[in-house]
Structure 1
Amino acid sequence: MPPTKDRYHHGALREELLRASLHLIETEGLAAVSLRKVARAAGVSPGAPYHHFADRSALLAALSSRGFELLRDRLAAACTSADTIMGTMIAMADAYVRFAREQPAYFRLMFRPELSQPEKNPETEHAGDAAFAVLEDAVAEAIHAGALPAAEADTLIMAWWAMAHGLASLEIDGKLVKRAGEMGTTADALAERITRLFAGLIETAQHTRSLE
């Protein structure tokens, strides 16, 4: 095997280690990831990963940060795809669930702080905050437009996150597909019905409040 420096330039080695880590999670689960095993999967010496990652948590933190960046981009794209405030909220929920379905390895890792250890690797928490900020900005815009009540902004943000994250978790665990099948529909259709119901409840509550 050629020396590491002959096989990868500096940036390429880091990317290859992240790719190998993601593949291990996809095929063997989170417990399979170790710096030694990742090095073997990448075809480099056991010491090579330490040029980029101090330990396993640093490696997982970098991978988790990448996941949050991808999620942030998807949520941001969803914000530009709808014509109405409620449409935006629905599109963002759909993007959240689709991300979990298409990137389950990232999703399973991103919300495991005991693995990425944000107290040692704060960049992961910053990446998560950036993704969350897309939702906060969307709600702030809805409040500014009068579509959502300002007094309940924080509650609405957490309610939306709980709904979207719950659907995403059910999706990657196979529960959403199973239940949708029992109901004679698809997972996508069921998730959309739930998010539309959620949006409708907010709209109804806002309308009722305006009449008081």
Structure 2
Amino acid sequence: MPPTDSRSTYHHGALREELITACLALIESEGIGAVSLRRVAREAGVSPGAPYHHFPDRASLLNAITARGYQLLLAEVRRAVDAAGSPVQALGALIETYVRFARANTAYVRLMYRPELSESDKDPAAEATAEEGLQLLTETVVACQRAGAAPPGDPGPLVTMIWSVAAGLAMLSVEGPLDHLTAARGSTVPELTAQVSALVQTLLTGATPPR
């Protein structure tokens, strides 16, 4: 086991937060491939053995960040859905929130959409929060159906469509293609996302009411 950290200024949990912050900064600047516990320790200014107090390996550190990313995203989506004036507007707000969150939190999102790196299937917290997000989306789609603003029946296909649109725009935004596309059109990613959100809402409001 690596030696213990000699810094005495950390309270319990403070070292953990420092390591997570350092890891996020490293992902932002150099990418996920640059992450190792030794490198994160160096970036945080602690001894090579310090991370082992909280993270037994690289995957456990990435897991912790992935779980937090899902928690932060879910909190923002809940606020957007609660503030929306109708279930249809809530779906549009959800799409825009995904993209806005992704652009502001690229390190989190790069991990959230790369489960093979963080082994999130081994982390109940990350899995539970991701499932909670899908449940919120499903409930919103069902509310649209009850209001006659979405086709009746199995909500699964519409849930999948909205999720794919939101997550797809988010990742295209993080990876850069959307910036190039919108710049060529004299627009911006937020403007394009708002247009897509409005289009989805327009399509839904034309749905056949349930019988």
TM-score (norm. length: structure 2): 0.90
Is the Cα–Cα contact under 8 Å of residues 151 and 210 in structure 2 kept in the other structure? no
Q: State the AA in 1 paired with 2:115.
A: P
**Alignment pair present for 1:20 and 2:29:** no
Query: Which of 11, 17, 42 is the equivalent residue of 1:9?
Result: 11
Is the Cα–Cα contact under 8 Å of residues 116 and 124 in structure 1 kept in the other structure? no
The gaps in structure 1 that reach 5 residues or longer are none
Q: Any idea what the Cα deviations from partners look like across 1:148-187, whole Å, max 9, x if unmatched?
A: 2341301111100111111111211222222122223222
Q: State the AA in 2 paired with 1:129.
A: E
Q: Which residue of 2 aligns with 1:91?
A: 93
Q: State the AA in 1 paired with 2:181.
A: R
Q: Which residue of 1 aligns with 2:107?
A: 105
For these two proteins, the number of residue pairs brought into alignment is: 208
The structure with the greater share of residues assigned to helix is: 1
**Alignment pair present for 1:33 and 2:35:** yes
Query: Which of 64, 74, 77 is the equivalent residue of 2:76?
Result: 74
Shift of 1:125: 1.4
- The CA distance in 1 between the partners of 2:210 and 2:131, in whole Å, is 32
TM-score (norm. length: structure 1): 0.90
Is the Cα–Cα contact under 8 Å of residues 59 and 117 in structure 2 kept in the other structure? yes
Q: Percent identity?
A: 42
Q: Which residue of 1 aligns with 2:199?
A: 197
Is the Cα–Cα contact under 8 Å of residues 152 and 210 in structure 2 kept in the other structure? no
- The CA distance in 2 between the partners of 1:184 and 1:3, in whole Å, is 52
The gaps in structure 2 that reach 5 residues or longer are none
Q: Which residue of 2 aligns with 1:131?
A: 133
- The CA distance in 1 between the partners of 2:121 and 2:91, in whole Å, is 31
Is the Cα–Cα contact under 8 Å of residues 102 and 109 in structure 2 kept in the other structure? yes
SS of residue in 1 equivalent to 2:8: helix
Shift of 1:188: 1.6
Q: State the AA in 1 paired with 2:151.
A: P
In the TM superposition, 1:46-61 aligns within 5 A as 46-61=48-63
Q: Which residue of 2 aligns with 1:147?
A: 149
- The CA distance in 2 between the partners of 1:201 and 1:152, in whole Å, is 18
- The CA distance in 1 between the partners of 2:101 and 2:135, in whole Å, is 17
